[in-house]
Structure 1
Amino acid sequence: MQPIVQPFFDPVTGTVTYVVFQSGHPECAVIDPVLDYDPKAGRTSTTNADKVIEFVRQHGLGVQWILETHAHADHLSAAHYLRGELGGKIAIGEHICIVQAVFKKLFNLEPGFHVDGSQFDHLFREDEAFSIGGLTAKALYVPGHTPADTAYQIGDAVFVGDTLFMPDVGTARCDFPGGDAHRLYGSIRKLLDLADDVRFFMCHDYPPEGRKPEWETTVLAQRAHNIHVHDGVTEEQFVSMREARDATLAMPVLILPSVQVNIRAGNFPPPEDNGVSYLKIPLDAL
């Protein structure tokens, strides 16, 4: 089963949002939608999400699922906005509760913020099967980048989240709270054990100079050419490389605003008594 995959690339955050559906069927899923955010002004907009909405409506599709691969640290999620415009269930892996607990403490969130995943409409169990119209799908638990990453296998396509990047870019960092390079290696090998012709779709691309953004590759290409984890790279070699590399990386520009929104399924914090929602910036905490 080969789904139709329509990508939407955001050059500001390097994020790729996908609409996934089957020819002849109206049901679709939206994966990792982006809410635009200007960190200088603290202002949000819906330019990226509105492109998705336009595509869905023009093609007569109905959104069944809005799927998050994890609580992103590099962009705010437009899941809440899209659900209001198009419907569908917002879903993420069940281990989001671990991430919520960590960041509720970091941000000293309001007592009414529950760390049980109830902000989402559905929490996927490991290897849980589901459907998108006539497409069969499965949620794959792939921790390492965070403790709660989930990839989605839909027909012959896998949306890998932040486990892998394009082969010439490598793999995701593991130095966020709860990240673990050993676990990421195991998750990546789990994905690379799939059939050679399975299509992988990246959540991000940060192309080297001279290459245009790309987001589709295969198991075979990753096993042969991924600069961090091609066949022959041992777990010890990968962990040593990943930990040394992570020690040199700055925090993502949007990690503090984005995580606060994304652990709420794309919703904003409750407005204060003046009707305005505020994001917190913990000082000297990361």
Structure 2
Amino acid sequence: MKFTAAQFVDHSVPLTGLVELPNGPSLPFCREDYRVRPEIRDQYLSRLIEMRDVDAQPLTEEQRHNALSLDDVYVPVGQVAFQYQDYLLVARKIPPGDMPQSRVPFNMELISVKHFPGMFPLSLIAVLLLVLLIYILGRMVTVRIGHWIVHKFESLIISRLPVVRTVYGSVKQVTDFLFSENQIEVRKVVAFEYPRKGIWTLGFVTGESMIDIAVAAGEPCVSILVPTSPMPMTGYAMSVPKSEVVDLDLSVDQAFQYIVSCGVLVPPQQQSTIERLQARLKPEQASDSFEEISSS
């Protein structure tokens, strides 16, 4: 951030055109190592001559200070010079051994001290500029020229890097899936026995499974997303034979409510009662179920 600001805000002046000041006063942090403009030098020497004529005594350090305006003093830093007041701000903050010796580093420190006395404003501006840059790049990518630039970059540069192209391709597929507007298409809510026979698990059919899996199973299979409770944002992708899948009379929203509540919120049409069991089970199954319910 400071480096970027130093490219646009430059407080330095060219060292050419500045001259040394004969018999000048010693200044804090730079002593006699400073420069002035030729006209300032001439004015300063004229004031010294006037003071000598008046007092007829050697001039004191205080008198020489009074004859010079610090606003007209410049301190050399590399090939340029900075006004003494600005040099003083940086010199008071940085130890003498760490003082920058060129224009850009000194300008960076001067900007941070003079315009951003605390780190918070500088950090805030850096974050805002970063967000603005990301927004502009995003807008460029969404238009036709942005797509063309990205495509050329991928085909001419990324595709020629052996390791990078593999990693980039995989990451791009994941990010395109996560951040695209296309959502997972849930076709229906089903149940199947998992992780073993007799234990039923709820899942969402997302599509047809892979052909190699169907060949190995000897029948068509479906891809099922099994979300976890109570956080359905994660889960498992499974391939299950169609003959082992039971379609449920549930909407996707009702299924999510059931999963998030860990099975507490059962939709009204799926609530199990004796009358409903008797109506839907076969006679022999219904009698066995009623005996189990009564015995429990």
Instruction: Indicate the structure (1 or 2) with the bigger Cα radius of gyration.
Output: 2
Q: Which has the higher contact order (CA 8 A, sep 6+)?
A: 1
TM interval, shorter chain, is under 0.3
With structure 1 as the length reference, what TM-score do the two structures score?
Answer: 0.17
Return the structure number with greater strand share. Answer: 1
With structure 2 as the length reference, what TM-score do the two structures score?
Answer: 0.17
